[in-house]
Structure 1
Amino acid sequence: MRDAHYEWRCKAITPIWTGDAYQKNGRMIPSGLLGSVRWWFEVLVRGMGGPACDPTDPDSRCPDKHGNRCVVCELFGCTGWARRLQFKIVDSNGQPVQAAIVKDQEFVFHFTPLRPILDEEWALLDLTLRLIADYGAIGGRTVFKPSDERRRENMPQHKDYGLIEITSWPDIKVEERQLRSYLKQSHWRNMDHGDYAWASLDNFWCANGKHLARQNKDDSNFNRVLGRDERKTCKICGDIHDPPNKCPKNNRYPHRHSENLINKNRTNQWIAGDKQESKKVFSFRHPQRTFGFVNPEVIDFSEMKKRLRKAWPDLKDDEFHQGSDLLNDLIRSPGGAP
């Protein structure tokens, strides 16, 4: 066990979105970023064979009827169990960051134990943060609607958010077998991950150096991968109306062809998400990064690669990385478990 605080020094590759109750991003809200860290921690734990509940689901969140908790709630807290660490975002002088983080800004993730924290827990947190930095993104919003259209790519609704670089990290050495043994301990709650089992590193994929976006009004390789109609024209009049403009034919906000799936099959519906559900593919332009998830009951890695090759015909097998391979790289890289 360790009682000292730990710091991960970072640089923002893009702005970072935390947002407030009014959906504005003018100030830093640490709880927003901690929630994002927790979500990726859940992804990591499930991918390593440990139990991680869905805290947003009243039927699965901890504790269970016997009072048992999952690995994630043990550290981050749940009903009747306070989290065991304090999280702050500070500048290089140790002062709290007050405003929203902007591109190229340097900052520090500062964690202090409120109660003793095991070496295995610190190691899992380290793996989580480096997973986010190397292959994922952090924050309440990451990318809205990626676009390569001239004069549109820098508009607010097309900007990237949430990419970071970790410039220094604590020296945490825990062997992989020790981590997996910790995750398999008998005192954790028994659980079926159910509808959220897809949110696991086992189902994660990433293609760094590649991006998806809209090319013009009729072509969007991003929508092509999602299974959506690529046209962004209005279904009523065939023109393009940018918000807040309304369609002149019915004086209503436009309903675009791109809102529709080409085929309402289970795979397209799952990947594209719904109004109350996130899409499962995310793509960034600067630097180029695309990542997402598969669901073994709906779509596997092989089918996902086929979809991506419709957007990137030159995609090579070694440019498509599965979560299990990324975990091995993280564990063996500096700062991770040897």
Structure 2
Amino acid sequence: MEIRLKTLAPLWTGGVDQTCDRLHETGLIGSLRWWYEALVRGLGGYACDPTSEDRCPDKDGKHCVACELFGCTGWARKFRLAVLDEKENPIQTQIQANQTILLRFIPLRPVAEQEWCLLDMTVRWIAEYGALGGKTVFKPTDEVARQNAIHHQDIGLIEYVRDNHPCTKTLATLTSYITLPKWRSGPHRYKDSQGKIHDYSWASLQNFWCVKGRYLARQNANASTFNRVVGRNESKNQAQRLAVDNHTNRWLAGSQQESKKVFSFKQPARTFGFVNPDLINFDNMKARLRGVWQNLDDQEFLTGEQILKALGASGGGQQ
């Protein structure tokens, strides 16, 4: 399968000393896998956290449907990824904005048609509503003197151009595939060896939201619409502190060990994130956004369910 993309911002794929010295295919694969897992969960399937103690295989030797494609201990990834330029030459340097790139997925073992469909839907989801690669946690700024600072740049925005392997499977067929009894199943939470509970069920298309055409940013030293939405103090010298210390703000704002759950980009403007039904639902999230965008219309706030229907209608799994 080949998917042609246009980059709207640079892609960060990893490197030495926090610099993106060249293209690292593994960085792209890791990002694709994260979104693929969230899609699987959103369709009602199980996808493990491959970075955790609860990763596949389980005690019975079974692995999840995401590990089936991307690999796990004792089960190699089923494809090799080649990243090519518009002349189909391998790209070795960091990918910059306004480049045409070709993602060529080369099968190493048989890949099910449903897996190709899910992978294509994943890339469509990222292109239309999310971001690809690392450093997507950078935040925009409206401060003129700081707009070119690396930590205020947009990273990871792409445009889906076309693929050579259109999906012919229905969403119902894809759902049936990812819930087959042969795959590992279970809750998306576990207790680690230290007794701490980890819950990653929020990382699902069903909990995803997106607003296009709007962004959150820092306006000046004392005002930040981004911080206001995630519950952090707006003052720059107090920005790592929560405005109100509660579970919801801690979850949204994240920490050095855990990602924030709201992401925003300036050019083109796009803001997306996740809710957690145990802490904050879509209506709560919309209320926070309306605290900075007073004229936000309900139709602008797209939920995962709406996005799934759009992805299906656009070719990534027919309705």
Mapping of residues 111-260 of structure 1, within 5 Å: 111-170=105-164, 171-194=166-189, 195-232=199-236, 256-260=237-241
State whether residues 143 and 160 of structure 1, in contact with CA within 8 Å, keep that contact through their aligned partners in structure 2. no
> Could you say which residue in structure 1 is the equivalent of 2:51?
56
Mapping of residues 69-148 of structure 1, within 5 Å: 69-148=63-142
Residues in 2 aligned to 1:216 and 1:69: alpha-carbon distance in whole angstroms: 49
Aligned-pair Cα RMSD in Å:
1.0
Per-residue deviation, 1:257 = 0.8
- 1:319 maps to 2:300: yes
SS in structure 2 of the partner of residue 215 of structure 1: strand
Give the length in aligned residue pairs: 309
SS in structure 1 of the partner of residue 218 of structure 2: coil
* 1:166-191 CA distance string (max 9 Å, x none): 11112221112211111121111121
Per-residue deviation, 1:26 = 2.5
SS in structure 2 of the partner of residue 306 of structure 1: helix
Residues in 2 aligned to 1:130 and 1:281: alpha-carbon distance in whole angstroms: 20
Larger Rg: 1
Per-residue deviation, 1:92 = 2.0
Residues in 1 aligned to 2:61 and 2:45: alpha-carbon distance in whole angstroms: 18
Per-residue deviation, 1:335 = 5.0
Percent identical among aligned pairs is 52
Q: Hey, which bits of structure 1, 4+ residues long, moved more than 4 A?
A: none
Gapped regions of structure 2 (runs ≥ 5): 190-198
Residues in 1 aligned to 2:317 and 2:248: alpha-carbon distance in whole angstroms: 35
Per-residue deviation, 1:336 = 4.0
Gapped regions of structure 1 (runs ≥ 5): 1-5, 233-255
State whether residues 132 and 157 of structure 2, in contact with CA within 8 Å, keep that contact through their aligned partners in structure 1. yes
Opposite residue 234 of structure 2, the aligned amino acid is E
TM-score where L is the length of structure 2: 0.95
SS in structure 1 of the partner of residue 223 of structure 2: coil
* 1:30-56 CA distance string (max 9 Å, x none): 100110000000000000001100001
Hey, which of these two has a bigger chunk of strand by percent? 2
State whether residues 143 and 284 of structure 1, in contact with CA within 8 Å, keep that contact through their aligned partners in structure 2. no
> Could you say which residue in structure 2 is the equivalent of 1:252?
none
Per-residue deviation, 1:96 = 1.0
User: Which of these residues, 35, 39, 43, is aligned with residue 40 of structure 1?
Assistant: 35
Residues in 1 aligned to 2:21 and 2:29: alpha-carbon distance in whole angstroms: 18
> Could you say which residue in structure 1 is the equivalent of 2:192?
none
TM-score where L is the length of structure 1: 0.90
SS in structure 2 of the partner of residue 9 of structure 1: strand
* 1:54-112 CA distance string (max 9 Å, x none): 00111x11000000010100000000000111111111222210000111011111101
State whether residues 171 and 317 of structure 2, in contact with CA within 8 Å, keep that contact through their aligned partners in structure 1. no
